[in-house]
Amino acid sequence: MRRLLGTTTSPYTRKARVLLKAIGKPYELVDIRTDEGAATLKEVAPLGKIPILLEDEAGTVVPDSTLIASWLWAKESAALGTAGWDLDPQAFADQALRSVVEGALDAAINHYYLRRDGFAETGYIAKQRQRVDRVLTWLDQRMEFRRPIGAAALSLGCALDWIVFRNVIELDRWPSLTAFRSSWKASGVGDGTEPRE
Ligand SMILES: N[C@@H](CCC(=O)N[C@@H](CS)C(=O)NCC(=O)O)C(=O)O
């Protein structure tokens, strides 16, 4: 059976969980906060980052949520297409938006953990927060939730839910992104994978 190394809080792991749910084949989420998960991560992932997809065929290890999305699109495009997805890795405009969304998500994650570790809101850390604000303002007029759902929308849905889950920002400052999140939630594609401890 397919296995996914990750956690239930991780927004990048969630991208893969949403797609695996859409595919509908059984898979196992191996939480890296367990001994088994930590040991497997150590074995297969020198970067120590999640998610990692472990295919049951020939020991294939697929790191990185975007690579996992491309892998699943290559292997399972019929099921994903039927479920309303279009994850073509060569859709450059979509991938460009995805990289902006994930740049903001990376900044938000860095900011959250560094502040949690007690670092002050100055210098490089303050810059991460400014980056999140700037990107959300830029995205506010550029993202609409529609089908088929692309790579940027998947990342944005997962990013916004995580940002709200961790209280990183007050999303209602961005009305179009708030509307995007409502449509994302109403679509049900992320049901059952919402961030939780
Ligand atoms: N570009 C990577 C980013 C993955 C990432 O940053 N994952 C976070 C969890 S959401 C992580 O593993 N953080 C642990 C660390 O940075 O040590 C992807 O798309 O999978």
Dihedral angle, C-alpha 37, 39, 41, 47, nearest 10 °: 140
Ligand 1, atom nearest to 49 Cα = 12
The total of other beta-carbon atoms located within 10 Å of residue 119's CB is: 13
Per residue in 118-133, pLDDT (tens digit) is 999 999 999 999 999 9
In this prediction the pTM is 0.97
* CATH classification code of 92-187: 1.20.1050.10
What is the Cβ-side half-sphere exposure of residue 95, based on CA atoms within 13 angstroms?
Answer: 11
* CATH classification code of 2-82: 3.40.30.10
Residue nearest (by alpha carbon) to ligand 1 atom 14:
49
Ligand 1, atom nearest to 106 Cα = 6
Domain spans of the chain, in order of start: 2-82, 92-187
Closest C-alpha to 109, from 26, 6, 4, 12: 12
Per residue in 19-51, pLDDT (tens digit) is 999 999 999 999 999 999 999 999 999 999 999
Common-topology check for domains 2-82 and 92-187: no
Residue nearest (by alpha carbon) to ligand 1 atom 11:
49
Task: Tell me the average pLDDT of the chain.
Answer: 97
Looking at residue 132, its pLDDT comes to 98
Q: What are phi and psi of 193, to 5 degrees?
A: -120, 10
